[in-house]
Structure 1
Amino acid sequence: MTASAPLGVFDSGVGGLSILAELRRALPGEDLLYLADTAHVPYGARPDDEIRTLTDRAVTALHAQGVKGVVVACNTASAFSLGHLRARFDLPVIGLVPAVKPAVQATHSGVVGVLATPGTLRGTLLAEVIREWAKPAGVQVIKAVSTELVPLVEAGQADSERTRAVLRDILTPLAQAGADQLVLGCTHYPFLAGSIRAEFGNTFTLLDSGPAVARHTRRVLEGRGLLSGQTAGGTERYLVTGDPRTAAPVLTTLLARSMHNGTQDHRAALTPRIETIQT
């Protein structure tokens, strides 16, 4: 494990590209190796043991590729797998925690919404941050869950009428309850920001954990002497466990949207090279 090795980034699908974009902004000189388990997405409704097994297999595959650390860019996988992964692998494993703390600190109404997958709601991380930050502050946390949203994003339909209908159905109760902050508790959900704002305007301030996990990743790599030392020119590689021809159009679209904050960049405009991997 050397400082010149790539940093691994794992998600069940394309949602982790929202984290990849924040990592690129925080670590412009690092080579990033992104693995999407598109053969098994979504994870949210799967049994707990299966989530752990799939996550372990993905991180094992990244470890075999020689990465110097792994960011588990999946809220559901983080909720069930971090302790196991850190005990099993001798490299930094960084996970996601739903952005409840900044939501609690920012709310004026005293009501915060959390939009998450069934898996994230079952896991312990969300309950822990609610107990640590929301309850002492007297902030009410209302949870919204859907099994449809991740597949819609994976299918390239983040801005579709069906997606907006699902969001209307599950978020209207939060708006009616006075929530002014909405925690996006899945890495796919930042790609729904346009649809949420189209339906609800400025009702909610949207928060996700991407910027915080990118800053934390930089601190961890620096603390272990694993920063590459380069300040620009980092590369990206993309691995999928499913059909790369299916993943390519959605991955290309979401990269162009997220990787460079909407600015024109030749890398964002090109179709990325996607390789198949078995986990």
Structure 2
Amino acid sequence: MGNLEKSVGILDSGVGGLSVLLEIRKKLPNIPIHYIGDSAWCPYGNKPAEQIQARSFAVTERLIEMGAHTIVVACNSATIHAVEALRASYPITFIGMEPAVKPASKLTKTGTIGVLATEASIAGEKFHRLLQTHIHPNGLKVITQHCPDFVTLVERGVLTGAEVEDAVSRYALPMVKAGADTLVLGCTHYPFLRETIQKVVGPSIQLIDTGEAVARQTASILALDRGHGEISVHTTGNLACLEHLFPILCPSLSANLAEILIT
């Protein structure tokens, strides 16, 4: 398979995982990357666990057909409900996402952490294990908030302005008023709103996401960074929407954009 053996696949419920793609490209400029955003089924965060897992398997099959040998599950909801089953089913490497509770527990000074995430992420057993491991033993407090409007805004390419500021005020400011000094961006869509989130909550509040850490882990696994660095980005949604969004979300990258049908 040549370079295909060292290509990276990235799956997400929509365009949020492009925030992870950006971080991976910084560390692996020459590795071919195949991205599939399942925008026809976006968001995953309010879907039943069985449906999230079924879609994750369907997208994974297509990424493997494209030659992906390492797959980044760039979606917290899919990681929670599907990554272990994927690892048990395919003889390739899967790298998952999880809300950055552990690093947040080391950074907080007030002892209160806010986690902005999807319904599926907050309800998942994996998230509760993170709390049992890193929060409760240290006497810390976590406030959770699911943020459906954040995903909708990013999928529309609306990253700044009054509409975003209103959503941030509704979701994040109550956490800050309750004493949270560290906010976890627990969905790959949310880093695209980082600038506005920081503006609304203030410069003293620390924002954490896991995109850079996942990119670092991916780079450590794929030590040989070879190839021509092609990027293909596929959507199960509307191609025109992707063509509109990609230069907004990834202005520094060029990619082959295409629509893909996954049943």
TM-score (norm: length of structure 1): 0.89
Letter in 2 for 1:51: I
Select the residue among 253, 258, 261 that pairs with 1:275.
258
- TM-superposed CA distance for 1:228, in Å, is 3.9
Letter in 2 for 1:25: K
1:204 — aligned with what? 205
Aligned identity (percent) is: 35
Output the CA distance in 2 between the equivalents of 1:242 and 1:4: 25
1:129 — aligned with what? 130
Output the CA distance in 1 between the equivalents of 2:70 and 2:181: 36
Number of residue pairs matched by the alignment: 261
Select the residue among 221, 226, 249 that pairs with 1:254.
249
- TM-superposed CA distance for 1:4, in Å, is 4.5
CA contact (8 A) 1:2 1:68 kept: no
3-state SS, counterpart of residue 212 of structure 2: helix
Output the CA distance in 2 between the equivalents of 1:110 and 1:69: 37
Select the residue among 221, 226, 232 that pairs with 1:237.
232
Letter in 2 for 1:130: L
Output the CA distance in 2 between the equivalents of 1:108 and 1:249: 41
Output the CA distance in 2 between the equivalents of 1:273 and 1:160: 29
3-state SS, counterpart of residue 69 of structure 1: strand
- Supply the RMSD in Å over aligned alpha carbons: 1.6
Deviation readout 1:216-263 (Å, 9 max, x if unpaired) = 1122334xxxx3446xx522111111111111111210001xxx5xxx
- TM-superposed CA distance for 1:16, in Å, is 0.4
Output the CA distance in 2 between the equivalents of 1:184 and 1:195: 13
3-state SS, counterpart of residue 9 of structure 1: strand
Output the CA distance in 2 between the equivalents of 1:277 and 1:248: 14
CA contact (8 A) 1:3 1:228 kept: no
What is the 5 A alignment of 1:23-172? 23-172=24-173
1:265 — aligned with what? none
Letter in 2 for 1:171: A
CA contact (8 A) 2:231 2:256 kept: no
Output the CA distance in 1 between the equivalents of 2:76 and 2:226: 29
Letter in 1 for 2:231: E
- TM-superposed CA distance for 1:22, in Å, is 0.9
CA contact (8 A) 1:175 1:203 kept: no
Output the CA distance in 1 between the equivalents of 2:151 and 2:2: 35
Could you tell me which runs of 5 or more consecutive residues in structure 1 were left unpaired when the two chains were aligned: 261-267
Output the CA distance in 2 between the equivalents of 1:28 and 1:36: 21
Could you tell me which runs of 5 or more consecutive residues in structure 2 were left unpaired when the two chains were aligned: none
Output the CA distance in 2 between the equivalents of 1:229 and 1:167: 41
- TM-superposed CA distance for 1:203, in Å, is 3.8
3-state SS, counterpart of residue 39 of structure 1: helix
> Do the aligned partners of residues 60 and 173 (structure 1) sit closer, same or farther apart at CA in structure 2, a change above 3 Å counting?
same
